[in-house]
Amino acid sequence: MSHLSSERLAELADGEPTVAEAEHLAACANCAAERSAHRRLLSMALDERDRIAPPLTEWSTLAVELREQGIIADDYAAPTAETSVVPVVQPRRHRRAWLVGLRVAAGLVFAAGFGALGRMSAGASPAPSSKEVTTVASRIFNGSAKQVMPNVFGDQSSPFNSVEDALATLETSQRNYDKAVAFIAAHDSTVQSPEAGEVFRTRLAALDEMAETSRQALSVAPADPVLNQYYLSTLGAREVTLRQLGSVLPPGTRLTRF
């Protein structure tokens, strides 16, 4: 039998040879090597599926179009304190407990995030286990927050007159945070460093863990506005870092994980 054609060998990357072809492949080192090469190529192609890349779109641009098409509802009623974390809002005593829990939850996400960085620097797994998160979150929303983080916020005086006032400030803060992250990214001298890629990968890994931690906390209190703010801010920082990483990688470099 003559050598197999290049297209037939390509087909045999994931196909079965006939009896005659199998005999030839067993006897012909060149054709056998070529078939192996096609299998490696196929494996490389499969790996491409896991590849990620910086977004092609900017949210600010996309949002304009979504708003024009009515997909973003300008009159959307965001979850308020009254509709959030439903099980604890009815009696006044519980409402107060909820507010304490809410504030501690914010601290929890901060603590979880920076805790993750600390763990990483110590060479340990950056994320607390889901059991840890669930346990802590459960304690918070069961009213035992003081035992968890009693003095995170220190001064009890507040410039806000209402929860709505505070929530509006939170929203403004989140938008300013996103802008600040984008500005810092645009002026980040890290990109000129030879180690920039590694720095951004490390940052992305930490942000991924933080996002996952926030998400787990949100599964306990899905409408919690504070947790939502932190989650979204983390994702925003992740997106910016992903763009930065994309800008410093050599052409053709695959990016599938951090």
Among 105, 137, 210, 242, binds another protein (CB under 8 A): 242
Is 207 near another protein (CB under 8 A)? Answer: no
Among 106, 236, 244, 248, binds another protein (CB under 8 A): 236
Among 18, 36, 144, 169, binds another protein (CB under 8 A): 36
Among 30, 125, 129, 144, binds another protein (CB under 8 A): 30
Stretch that binds another protein, among 43-51, 133-141, 149-157, 159-167 (CB under 8 A): 43-51
Query: 86 vs 146, which CB is nearer to another protein?
Result: 86
Three state DSSP letters for the chain: CCCCCHHHHHHCCCCCCCHHHHHHHHHCHHHHHHHHHHHHHHHHHHHHCCCCCCCCCCHHHHHHHHHHCCCCCCCCCCCCCCCCCHHHCCCHHHHHHHHHHHHHHHHHHHHHHHHHHHHHHCCCCCCCCHHHHHHHHHHHHCCCHHHHCCCCCCCCCCCCCCHHHHHHHHHHHHHHHHHHHHHHHHCCHHHHCCCHHHHHHHHHHHHHHHHHHHHHHHHHCCCCHHHHHHHHHHHHHHHHHHHHHHHHCCCCCCCCCC
Q: Which residues bind another protein (CB under 8 A)?
A: 2-11, 13, 30, 33-34, 36-38, 40-42, 44-46, 48-49, 51-57, 59, 61-63, 65-66, 69-73, 76, 78, 208, 211-212, 215, 218-219, 222-223, 228, 231-232, 235-236, 238-239, 242, 251-254
